Amino acid sequence: MLPYDKLKKIAYGGDYNPEQWDEATWEEDMRLFKLAGIDILTLNVFSWAAIQPSEDTYDFDRLDRIMELVRKNGMKVCMATSTGAHPAWMAKRHPDILRVDFEGRKRKFGGRHNSCPNSPTYRTYAPRLAEKLAERYKEYDNIVVWHIANEFGGECYCENCEKAFRGWLKEKYQTIDKLNQVWDTAFWGHTFYDWDEVVVPNALSEHFAEDFTMFQGISLDYRRFNSDSILDCYRLEYDAIKRVQPEASITTNLMGFFKGLDYQKWAKYMDFISWDNYPQIDDSYARIAMSHDLMRGISHGEPFALMEQTPSVTNWHQYNALKRPGVMRLWSYQAVAHGADTVMFFQMRRSIGACEKYHGAVIDHVGNENTRVFREISALGEELEKLGSRTLGARTKTKIALMMTWDNWWALEYSAGPSRDLKYITEFTRYYEALRNMNYDVDIIAPQDDFSGYEVVIAPLLYMVREGEDENIRQFVKRGGTFVTSFFSGIVQENDLVITGGYPGKLRDILGIWVEEQDALPRNAKNSFIYKGKEYPAFLLCDLLHLEGARQIDASGYGSDFYQGSPVITEHKLGDGKAYYVATATDEAFYRVFLKELCDVKGILPVMDIPEGVEAASRENEKERFIFLLNHTNETKTVDLPWKGTEIISEQPAEKQLVLDAHDVKIVAVSKS
């Protein structure tokens, strides 16, 4: 949980790197921060080399001065441990800290996020630095949260990792026979007789390319191992800080739908979730919301910190368009609407050298307050000051959940066949966007989670069903739940071994169908089906299925090809609930109609019924419900209100109608009493 006792309002600030500037500039920065309503600074993100100039020397002098200055100016601190990039001298002296890349090449010093997660050097020096920082600054009660390393990620394929991988496997599978069985090494004669025969799966062994492997089981375990190895590094630092400061609130900045790390597992070891929101230029607003909901989901509904976003431009997209006037504010409130209790930026002052110098900042290269961006930031600062603690800790309540796991994502996309275009997040997004665009609040959960709070659970492309997950779903349906899944689901167990006896494997009895074949359609090819009198396209994959208790609820099956007439949408009653199967990919129009029906039956309503392009999302606490109205369009929109409340940014009564200008935001608080 976020340390609300220390935060008191939506923390507003971000990454600040005074080490890049002279002390005169620091003073000017403090003036500007106050002008902008900034109250929190993330410090020390990349200072390892500065703080530890050699093996046994630590030099905190400059950081001490920075800390003093910041405290003196009444700012809170998000204290980073600086271990996101190791010092050059360390790379030279201890090359085990350098990674070996996917191509099998030992890297040299450079970049960031560059340390081998199984390097003895890294595992020694990184937690040691965290501990020293915790000790040195333990009296600073303006340190409100701790921030370990930075945007953990990447892979290493070095000898230390290879050895550690063998150890990890041995612990997991115990015997080499078990290993051979779960990896199905009888295929292509890959039988291992000794753990030492196992090599890391990369371009030199089992892979054609990063996402193309010849042995899915091996590669899948390496992904798990790599995520765990990096998590170990995080935990070593976490434990080091806690030894000194048991009350510290510790996080690391995640990255939304980041494929490399199993955040559902990571979340267990984080005091609260924080993340960096950098949408792609063509992301829909629903797609951005989906990432927020995932971050809220991995923390089981707890609010999270928006650790980074750009005030204006990024520098690393193909085309770095400016955030249009109002958009920074709009997206800040969107984060809050979905569960963020901080609004923070990368970066506070724009650096002058290296690759991020054209990334936007609160203080631009011109160095003063006379910019559009600074003015927008100041205005938002003022609003957040006024909002105070009112929304802090409020939670989203919904009866609808989408289900995802990293294991499923990894396994599905390692699959050789049936279609190169089969992408997990793409299919997942189709369902999410349909719901979000109708303004249903949605949770994103894991299959092993407790479903008891939900009435509709949707698991698009549930390719992998791990031990116990089918039973969780089965009980949910039997108790009256509505379950939806799609084509190519239930295919494999946790080691990517196919469940024989007919697809969708362990989901077969739940869904009441048998899928005999799957037809992959080339890009742009289409079949079709009719549902409630309207025709929809069928593309990507068409499952050919037989009813085994389920009933067909589309009008007449596929519209063409040799499987013309074969069912596309099926419904199966099980116990008190129903399980649905969508045998192909189709367009948003269908998902909207179909999912709305399922919700209607359960009496689940959207947050509000409002014009297209305006998002409505809700949070609530014991006293009030907050409805966030976010106008993502370039036009003025009028919203009809079904209840009376207060617009809490303007502190004006809200009833009957609200008018939102282009990119405008309104937050209506409705009393629950």
Residue 84 CB, shortest distance to a second copy, in Å, is 8
Nearer Cβ to a second copy (360/481): 360
Alpha helices in 554-667 (DSSP H): 588-602
Q: What is the nearest approach in angstroms of a second copy to the Cβ of residue 659?
A: 20
DSSP 157-169: -SHHHHHHHHHHH
Q: What is the largest CA-CA distance in the chain?
A: 76
Euclidean distance between CA atoms 157 and 293, whole angstroms: 33
How near is the Cβ of 407 to a second copy at its closest, in Å?
16
Nearer to a second copy, 201 or 559 (CB): 201
Residue in 289, 285, 160, 176 with CA at minimum distance from that of residue 232: 160
- Residue 145's contacts (CB-CB under 8 Å, 6 or more residues apart) are 2, 3, 78, 79, 248, 249, 250, 251, 271, 272, 274, 305
Cβ burial, residue 399 (10 Å; 0-12/13-18/19+): buried
Q: Which is nearer to a second copy, 358 or 643 (CB)?
A: 358
CA 628 to chain centre: 21
Which of 131, 151, 162, 237 is labelled catalytic?
A: 151
Whole-angstrom distance, CA of residue 51 vs CA of residue 82: 9
Q: How far apart are CA 623 and CA 185, in angstroms?
A: 59
Shortest gap between Cβ of 667 and a second copy (angstroms)? 24
Shorter beta-carbon distance to a second copy: residue 92 or 479:
92
Q: Where are the beta strands (DSSP E) in 583-643?
A: 584-585, 614-620, 624-631, 637-640
User: Is 316 marked as binding a ligand?
Assistant: yes
DSSP letter at 100 equals B
Closer Cβ to a second copy, 301 or 502, answer by number: 502
655 is catalytic: no
The helix or strand, by DSSP H or E, that contains position 294, with its residue range, turns out to be: helix 285-298
Query: Contact 536/590 with Cβ under 8 angstroms?
Result: yes
Nearer to a second copy, 197 or 450 (CB): 197
In whole angstroms, the minimum distance from the beta carbon of 500 to a second copy comes to: 5
- What are the CA-CA distances from residue 653 to residues 112, 210, 297, 645, 666 (Å)? 50, 55, 32, 6, 11
In the bound complex, what is the minimum distance in angstroms from residue 534's beta carbon to a second copy? 27
Query: How many C-beta neighbours within 10 Å does residue 98 have?
Result: 24
Q: Are 79 and 124 in contact, with CB atoms under 8 Å apart?
A: no
Is the Cβ of residue 498 or residue 659 nearer to a second copy in the bound state? 498
**Would you say 116 is a known binding-site residue?**
yes
Are the CB atoms for 219 and 200 separated by under 8 Å?
no
Residue 103 C-beta: closest distance to a second copy, Å: 7
Minimum gap (Å) between residue 108 Cβ and a second copy: 4
Q: Which residues contact 250 (CB under 8 A, 6 or more apart)?
A: 145, 146, 148, 238, 241, 242, 270, 271
CB of 417 to a second copy, least distance (A): 3
Please give the Cα distance from 457 to 400 (Å, whole number). Answer: 6
Cα-based angle 255, 257, 258 (whole degrees, multiple of 5): 60
Q: Which residues pair with 571 in a beta bridge?
A: 551, 580
In the bound state with a second copy, the residue whose beta carbon lies nearer, of 321 and 605, is 321
Closest CB to a second copy among 319 and 612? 319
Determine contact, residues 250/271, Cβ cutoff 8 Å.
yes
Does 308 qualify as catalytic in the annotation?
yes
161 annotated to a ligand binding site = yes
Which position among 131, 162, 308, 615 bears the catalytic label? 308
Q: Annotated binding residue at 78?
A: no
What is the Cα–Cα distance from 151 to 113, expressed in whole angstroms?
8
Short-list 391, 369, 380, CA closest to 326: 380
- To the question of whether residue 224 is assigned a binding role by annotation, the answer is no
How far apart (Å, rounded) are the C-alpha atoms in residues 167 and 17? 40
Cα distance between residue 14 and residue 381, in whole Å:
13
- Residue set of the binding site for Zn(2+): 116, 156, 158, 161
List residues forming the annotated binding site for substrate.
112, 150, 316
Return binding residues: 112, 116, 150, 156, 158, 161, 316
Positions marked catalytic: 151, 308
